Structure 1
Amino acid sequence: MTPPQPRSGLAATQRSPLLHRFDSALTTVTEGAAALLVAAEAVLLASGTTARYVFHTPLVWSDELASLIFLWLAMLGAVVALRRGEHMRLTAFVRNLPDETRSWLDTLGMGLVIALLLALLPATLEHFEDLSISTTPVLEISEGFRVAAVLVGFGLMLVTAIDVTLKRARLTQIAVVALGIAAAAGLFWVLAARFEAMGNANLLIFFLGIVSFCMVIGAPIAFAFCLGTVSYLTFATQIPLTIVPSRMDEGMSHLILLAVPMFILLGALIEIAGLARAMISFLVALLGHLRGGLQYVLLGAMYLVSGISGAKAADMAAVAPTLFPEMKKRGNHEGDLTSLLSASAVMSETIPPSIVLITVGSVTGVSIAALFTGGLLPAVVGMAVLCVVVYFQTRNEDMSQVQRFTGRDKLRLFAVAIPGLGLPVVIRTAVVEGVATATEVSTIGIVYTVIVGLVFYRQFDWKRVYPILVETASLSGAILLVVGAATAMAWALTQSGFSRQLVEVMTMVPGGKLGFLLTSAVAFIILGSVLEGVPAIVLFGPLLFPIARMMGVNEVHYAIVAVFAMGFGLFMPPFGVGFYLACAIGRVSPDLAIRRVWPHMGALLVALLLIVLIPWISIGFL
């Protein structure tokens, strides 16, 4: 979401050519550096994978260097995302407000980001100095080279936040917001002793009140988490703020998470290399002549491409524009089509290589190979219930003008689609069978896609590579900053004793294991509608998964229930932001689509209940 321009008055950059030039230079430098790091990471990982599997001579230093580059990529990507307004945020409450009101709220949100970064920079500098004296085990270079990424990242975010504020806000707004934030900080400082004396009741103020307020006004979720954590540590405890950059560093440095930017890059390359279009063309030839055939194609295409891009918006955008025009010609209601698109994204939440599943494995220690295996059949269950809805909705579809493909045409399109169809099969098989890690498979997929695009489909658009690298960095930074912020927040909640209290409450839920699963499903639906999958699982996964183990619930089963439920919440109107993404991609008014979404959501609720009640769906093939 791009903050609106004020309706009256001039922004500072419009007044000053110097600030305008600075803004352009900062954009060029940050985006160029972030794109270069994405490319360097891909080349390094591909080289390490080739050395390991082709030449059987592992590069012992490659993982360490990849980890160093990765943290820089995450932080610079977060800077780019802040400049572009692409951080995850809740827009349900501010979406329909007048422009003037939204302008004030955007200024307030950015002012809180500036205040947070000003508070974090000294602590981050101290964290950098503490680790600079250590050396890495293989390369034997100072840890400062890696940890400096957090310090530089926060510094550039501060500069970016100030730059964005000067560019978009009026001076009166800036002054009022600055005074308001200073007054609020002073009040909290005066009340610090009382907050500390409140015990865990103060968690409601900091982790519910402050975080909720930030999210309601549309501030980025990652910064809302950080602000709640920093405020809690500053005004209610004696714990030094250095713990925040330390925990964020730890949360973002898991090697498993290296797969995130690589799969995002892979998803973008699939589109420009022609693989997605070839797969969809074959499915249309195979099923397009049936009533509801194109709807079945949409579901099948989402099953094939989902999760590879790392972004549901990218998955939907790869499928919908190709199919929607013909669907409308057949008399399908555009509200039904958008609702199906939204529901198909829910259905495919558990399909590997899902970024959310990778995150689950990272923060809970559950085997990613087991999660990938367990996620395939639940998605089939979701697809099956949606097919039932499609069948009843398309019984009267006009098929008189539908093109029918001959057997020869189907074979030809199948032959063309084979390279594209092979990619998701190779990726999922390699990870599920334990042949390679998710990160290694993503790099293999990138090389495979580039070769197929150049050799087979001959439509690789090199002009789009740089924008794709920047977009990859931006989305990766947005995701990984949430992971880091939620890791710090989860640590603070654990230290407060909240996790112990949560265990006591959850174990008292009536119904034993089943009651716990149903309660968790409802909780994750709510969390998914507000926080989205990655921040919700990073924040609550470390708290709830140990309870699931204690209750005797299989970890993979619990993970699949959590991910499917969060996906349901993410695309559930009126708060689920995914639903509005589907409307934007389908170019349909949310007011029109929201009246048509309920049959699909009802079917998915049935699928979720089946997944909860029948563990075999998730763990039968482990």
Structure 2
Amino acid sequence: MTVALILLLVLLLLLLVGFPIAFSLAMAAVAALLSKGTIPLTVVPQRLFTATDSFILLAVPFFVLAGELMQHGGISRRLVNFASDLLGWISGGLALVSIASAAFFAAISGSSAATTAAIGGVMYPEMRQRGYKPDFTAVVQAVGGTLGVVIPPSIPLIIYGVITGASIGDLFLAGIIPGLLGAAVYMAVAWKMAGKLGYKTMQRSSLKKTWHSFREASWGLLMPVIILGGIYGGVFTPTEAAVVAVVYALLVGFFIYKELNWKNFYSMLVKSGLTSAMIMLLIATASLFTWIMTIENIPQAITGAILSMTESKLVFLLLVNMVFLIAGMFLDTVAIILLLIPIFFPIALQLGVDPVHFGVIAVFNLAVGQMTPPFGVCLFVSSGVSGVSLEKLFKAVLPYLLAAFILILLLTYVPSLSLGILELFAKSI
């Protein structure tokens, strides 16, 4: 128990003083091994290498690169134009356009921060120019950005699948309805808020103009169809789908929209490499950390403690929601999945929770955590894009959070909202 105490105390101490989480995990693990004294430190590089030596994990850097290529290749602007023609005539239409565009872009990027930055960079100046308040405008970008980790392809869902062995294809498919529901609920809240604030509508676009913007955006809209269609059609694996996404993004950016060139392509490679390296380092160090937790029987102790309090699946899922929501306020999404899923997943299986449903619940909670004060990453990104202070965003996001909490309960206790599409697909084939 002493080793477990040292492991957790060193981690908490390093996080409190502001150490990066990947290094905090590694140093806590090393401190625990030194205190144990019976395991040589040569195990550290072995565990780090083993954690990342996975064909499936190759999907992460490729999806990161595909998102970068789509973001800078003209896709985000065309998606915004199409969404604007569809929804701009409704009261507070530009707020709805922002969230709808984020949902479209989420089906390309797999990242909440990238979605917030890409759509916010286009929509924030446009909304401000049309008289929308800064805090209302900025928070809409943050809320829409959270859809990036729910709507497939989703990097957190990939990592969840790697850890648990759940089918990544099934996880992608199960994330579609919750993601679209999230978009619809957030759009409803934005519409209600816009009506109270008296924002005017834009002129309704003609059918001809809408058709033109659809054709312009169709190359971006086609990408998630190719990815999911290829996976479920048995054409390629999720990892191979990520490579296909990169090739597709390159062809669209260089030869169709012609907004990519070799200079910005190099900068995107560098940025994607840095982002991927950060994620992979986090996966490696978290694997080392969870390995030590396992040999010290920490997950088993937590499992026993939880099952001694309740054996009700409903109560357990409520507890999971609370834990993941709170964790999402403070830590990176990938880090939370790597740390908490090995603890809660065995309990979920023991209580009869479907692995795919559990993954969707966990990731949706973490998505909401990204717009929850005090450290919601999408709020930070939106604040950086807009210049609006975090204090103002914290107040403006409250109506969306209330709606999100209700939606979490709905997704938790109505499994068919995520699993129903799997059953329909199984029947169709």
Deviation sequence 1:551-592 (CA, Å, 0-9, x none): 100111111111111222232111333321221122211122
Q: 1:264, 1:308 within 8 Å by CA — same for their partners in 2?
A: no
Aligned twin of 2:25: 225
Aligned twin of 1:203: 4
Counterpart Cα distance in 2 of 1:542 and 1:254: 18
Give 1:205's aligned amino acid. Answer: I
Q: Pick from 258, 272, 281 the counterpart of residue 481 of structure 1.
A: 281
- Which structure has more RCO (C-alpha within 8 Å, separation ≥ 6)? 2
Q: Does 1:364 align with 2:149?
A: no
Q: Pick from 388, 392, 405 the counterpart of residue 592 of structure 1.
A: 392
Aligned twin of 1:514: 314
Aligned twin of 2:91: 291
Counterpart Cα distance in 1 of 2:75 and 2:192: 31
Counterpart Cα distance in 2 of 1:598 and 1:291: 21
Q: 1:307, 1:355 within 8 Å by CA — same for their partners in 2?
A: no
Aligned twin of 2:253: 453
Alignment length, in residue pairs?
421
Counterpart Cα distance in 1 of 2:350 and 2:412: 17
Q: Pick from 200, 222, 244 the counterpart of residue 422 of structure 1.
A: 222
Identity %: 33
* Cα shift at 1:202: 4.1
Give 2:127's aligned amino acid. Answer: M
Aligned twin of 2:120: 320
Q: Pick from 38, 46, 64 the counterpart of residue 238 of structure 1.
A: 38
Q: 1:343, 1:601 within 8 Å by CA — same for their partners in 2?
A: no
Query: Aligned runs of 1:27-426 on 2, under 5 Å?
Result: 200-207=1-8, 209-306=9-106, 308-395=108-195, 396-399=197-200, 402-426=202-226
Q: Does 1:465 align with 2:265?
A: yes
Determine which structure has more spread, i.e. the larger CA radius of gyration.
Answer: 1
Structure 2 length as normaliser, TM-score? 0.93
Deviation sequence 1:415-461 (CA, Å, 0-9, x none): 22222211122123323444311221121122222222233212223
* Cα shift at 1:463: 1.2
Q: 1:307, 1:349 within 8 Å by CA — same for their partners in 2?
A: no
Q: Pick from 575, 578, 582 the counterpart of residue 382 of structure 2.
A: 582
Q: 1:339, 1:600 within 8 Å by CA — same for their partners in 2?
A: no
* Cα shift at 1:606: 1.0
Aligned twin of 1:442: 242
* Cα shift at 1:619: 0.8
Counterpart Cα distance in 2 of 1:584 and 1:247: 37
Q: Does 1:565 align with 2:365?
A: yes
- Structure 1: tracts of 5 or more residues without a match: 1-199
Aligned twin of 1:139: none
Q: 1:302, 1:344 within 8 Å by CA — same for their partners in 2?
A: yes
CA shift in 2, pair 1:308/1:219, >3 Å? farther
Q: 1:372, 1:431 within 8 Å by CA — same for their partners in 2?
A: no
* Cα shift at 1:386: 1.2
Aligned twin of 1:101: none
SS of the residue corresponding to residue 306 of structure 1 reads: helix
Q: Does 1:505 align with 2:299?
A: no
CA shift in 2, pair 1:455/1:465, >3 Å? closer
Q: 2:92, 2:200 within 8 Å by CA — same for their partners in 1?
A: no
Give 1:575's aligned amino acid. Answer: F
Structure 1 length as normaliser, TM-score? 0.65
Aligned twin of 1:553: 353
